[in-house]
Chains A and B, each alone.
Chain A
Amino acid sequence: MINRLSVATIWVLDQNEALRFYTEKLGFTIRADALFGDYRWLTVGLDSQPDVEFQLAVIKVSDGYTQAEVAFLTQLVAAGKLGNGVWKTDNCQQTYELLSARGVEFIQPPTDRPYGIIEAIFKDNSGNLMVLSQDKPR
């Protein structure tokens, strides 16, 4: 049976800009970065999860995507309607302050939820909406 996640995709508008955002602002590290012709396979990950990596996949016309599909995908990503994720932290308020100081745009500050978590919402620099989540002690 399937037993764990290995690689997941985050759609980005510009790989260089996304790499700067995910490494310099969020603190991810580069896992893979290789060119295959004009296709750049670029993944990042968290040091605390060495067996999981995230592909920063650029949306561009290729054998797999038409111009119309690229335009549509770009619109969805920029509007925050395509890529969503939840990142866990031990201290939502502290991480929120740290990332805000680095220039990360939050659209909701840390908020206490009745279902046992504190969560904030930020956007990556492509427009993807991400949740920063802390489990509250039970």
Chain B
Amino acid sequence: MPLTVPKQIRLARRLLDQHYATPITIEALGSQVALSPYYLIRAFKHIYKQTPHQYLIGRRIAKAKELLRNTQISVTEICAAVGFESLGSFSTLFRKATGLSPRAYRASSLPAASPTYIPLCVCFLHGIQDLPDF
């Protein structure tokens, strides 16, 4: 693997972090970091243990969780604000990711501390080094 790839992969992730609320295709992302879609997916997954699409969905769900916990914005508005086009797919993906529907999640949550604290012993045990740019 060429030495320049990790930098490009980090850039791809940064672009997903910055533009998660807008439609992003793998072709467009690959073009911005000068990698083919196939190579980008493979290298991204190798480094971050998930595909760019999975990362994007996770990023959107993370932002949705934050908005559900810390604001009174409606679920429909949150769905659109984080980049989902369909309330149905948002609810399905949210439930799959968290175990709860968006409304149940809001009802079961206290406002979140920011930034999230994760004990160092857990980071050490699970090899967590590369924290997301939230």
Nearest CB in chain B: distance from A17 CB, A: 7
Mask: chain B, 28-72; 1 = CB below 8 Å from A; 0 = not: 000000000000000000001110000000100010010001000
B7 interfacial contact with A, CB 8 Å: no
Given known pairs A20-B100, A38-B50, the reply for A29 and B128 (CB within 8 Å) is: no
Mask: chain A, 1-36; 1 = CB below 8 Å from B; 0 = not: 000000100000001111110011000111111111
Mask: chain B, 62-99; 1 = CB below 8 Å from A; 0 = not: 10010001000000000000000000000000001011
Given known pairs A32-B113, A35-B58, A41-B118, the reply for A23 and B126 (CB within 8 Å) is: no
Given known pairs A36-B132, A63-B125, A64-B127, the reply for A17 and B99 (CB within 8 Å) is: yes
Nearest CB in chain B: distance from A58 CB, A: 11
Interface size on A, residues (CB 8 A): 28
Nearest CB in chain B: distance from A12 CB, A: 11
B131 interfacial contact with A, CB 8 Å: yes
The CA of A100 and the CA of B43, in the complex, are separated in Å by 49
Mask: chain A, 24-59; 1 = CB below 8 Å from B; 0 = not: 100011111111111101000101000000010000
Nearest CB in chain B: distance from A70 CB, A: 13
Q: Point out the residues of chain B lying under 8 angstroms from A18, CB to CB.
A: 99
Nearest CB in chain A: distance from B129 CB, A: 9
Q: Point out the residues of chain B lying under 8 angstroms from A32, CB to CB.
A: 112-113, 116-118
Among the listed A15, A55, A63, which residue makes an inter-chain contact with B127, where contact means beta carbons less than 8 Å apart? A63
Does the CB pair B100–A41 fall under 8 Å? no
B109 interfacial contact with A, CB 8 Å: yes
Among the listed A19, A31, A63, which residue makes an inter-chain contact with B110, where contact means beta carbons less than 8 Å apart? A31
The chain A residue sitting closest to B105, CB to CB, is A30
Interface residues of A (CB under 8 A from B): 7, 15-20, 23-24, 28-39, 41, 45, 47, 55, 62-64
